[in-house]
Amino acid sequence: MLELITFSTLNGVLYGMLLFMMASGLTLIFSMMGVLNFAHASFYMIGAYFGFEISRRIGFWPGFFVAPVLVGVIGGLIERYGLRQVHRFGHVAELLFTFGLAFVIEELVNMIWGKLPVDYRVPPSLDFVAFRLFDTTYPAYRIFMLATAVAMFVFLLVILKRTRVGLIIQAALTHPNMVAMLGHNVPQVFMMVFGVGAGLAGLAGVIAGPALVTQPSMAALLGPILFVVIVVGGLGSLGGAFVASLLIGLVQTFAVAINVSLADAIGPSAASLFGELGRAPLAQIAPVLPYLLLVLVLIFRPRGLFGTRET
C-alpha cells in the first residue's frame, strides 16, 4: 500500500507538472487576450514531433533545447500574423481561428509523419533505473521530466515576479489599455507571451513524447484535459492552474492505480442503484473523473478554485 501511494504520488505530481507546463501558457494567454487557444495542445504535439525529428538526426539533447524554441517562434508568428489580424473581428473569430488551427496542425502532422506513432525513444543517457523502492524500480527519465518541469516552473515564477517584463505582463493581464497608455508595447508583450506559452507546451511535448506516445492524436487527447485544468483552477489564474494541474494529475493517477469499485466502497446493494457503473473498478472510471470535476466546479463554483471572474 505504501508502495502504491509513493509511486502514484510521484507519477501524479509528474503528470500534474506536465499539465501545468501547458496550462500555465494557456491560462496566461487567456487572461491577456481573452482568447481560449484551442490550438495550445497542438504546440505540445509539434514539440514532440520536432523533438523526435531532431533527436533522430542529431540527438536528444539538441532537440531538447532547439525544438521548444522553434515551437515558440512558430507560436509567436501565428500570433503576429494570424491571431492579431483576426482580432478586430472579435473573440468568436479568434476562437474559430485557433479551433481551425488545431485541425490544420493535426492534418499537417498526419501528412508529414503519418498516422502511426513514431519511434521517439528515451535517450540512452537517461535510460536507467533511478532508484529501487519496495522492489519497484523508478526510471531516471521520469525524474528528468519532473526536474525539467520544476525548473520551468521556477523560471516562469522568477520572470513573472522578479522582472520588469513580468510586472508588465501581470499588469496587462487585467488592464491592457492602461499599460499601453503608460508607453508599453502591449501587442509585443502579447506576442511574447503567446510565443513563450507555445514554447513551454512544446517543451512539454519534447519531454513527454518519449515517455508517452508520439502520434497525431496526442493533441486531441490532451486538449480537453487542459481546458479542465484551467477552468477548475479559475480562468486566468496561474496559481489556480498549478493547483488544478496537480489535483487532476493525482486524481487520475490514483484512480488508475486503486482497484476498487463503487460496490466495494458502499456495499453491493447500494451500488446496484448505479447499475453497471457500480461494479466498474475505479480504474475504468478514471478517464471520466476530470470531466466530472469540471462539471461539478462549473455548477458549484463557476469562477474556479482561484479565479476572479465567472467562466
Partner 1 sequence: MTALLEVENLHAYYGKSHILDGVTFHIGMGEIVSLLGRNGVGRSTTIKAIMGDVPPVGSVRFRSREIVGLKPHQIARLGLGYVPENRDIFPSLTVRQNLMLGQKWAKQTGRWSMQDMFNIFPRLEERADTMAGVLSGGEQQMLTMCRTLMGDPDLIMIDEPTEGLAPMMVELVGKLLGEIAERGISILLVEQKLTIALKISHRLYVMGHGRIVFEGTVPEFNADARVRQDWLEV
Which cell is 204 given?
Answer: 512539454
CA-to-CA dists, residue 276 to 242, 252, 283, angstroms: 35, 21, 14
The CB-of-293 to partner 1 minimum distance in angstroms stands at 27
Q: Where on the chain is the footprint of partner 1 (CB under 8 A)?
A: 164, 167-168, 170-171, 174-175, 177-187
The CB-of-169 to partner 1 minimum distance in angstroms stands at 11
The smaller minimum CB distance to partner 1, of residues 239 and 287, is found at: 239
Which cell is 28 given?
Answer: 496566461
The CB-of-84 to partner 1 minimum distance in angstroms stands at 12
- Angular region, 213: left φ>0, alpha ψ -120 to 50, beta rest: beta
Written as one string, the DSSP assignment of 214-273 is: --TTHHHHHHHHHHHHHHHH-TT-HHHHHHHHHHHHHHHHHHHH---BHHHHH-HHHHGG
Q: Which residue has the cell 524554441?
A: 69
The smaller minimum CB distance to partner 1, of residues 86 and 180, is found at: 180
Give the Cα separation of 37 and 31 in Å (integer): 11
The CB-of-166 to partner 1 minimum distance in angstroms stands at 10
Which cell is 65 given?
Answer: 533545447
The smaller minimum CB distance to partner 1, of residues 159 and 273, is found at: 159
The CB-of-306 to partner 1 minimum distance in angstroms stands at 12
- Return the H-helix or E-strand segment holding 129: strand 129-133
The CB-of-185 to partner 1 minimum distance in angstroms stands at 5
The smaller minimum CB distance to partner 1, of residues 18 and 168, is found at: 168
* CA nearest neighbour of 144 among 157, 125, 118, 121: 125
How buried is 27 (Cβ within 10 angstroms: 0-12 exposed, 13-18 middle, 19+ buried)? Answer: buried
The smaller minimum CB distance to partner 1, of residues 209 and 236, is found at: 236
The smaller minimum CB distance to partner 1, of residues 48 and 168, is found at: 168
Q: Inter-axis angle of helices 238-257 and 2-33, to 10 degrees? A: 150
The CB-of-241 to partner 1 minimum distance in angstroms stands at 16
The smaller minimum CB distance to partner 1, of residues 199 and 240, is found at: 240
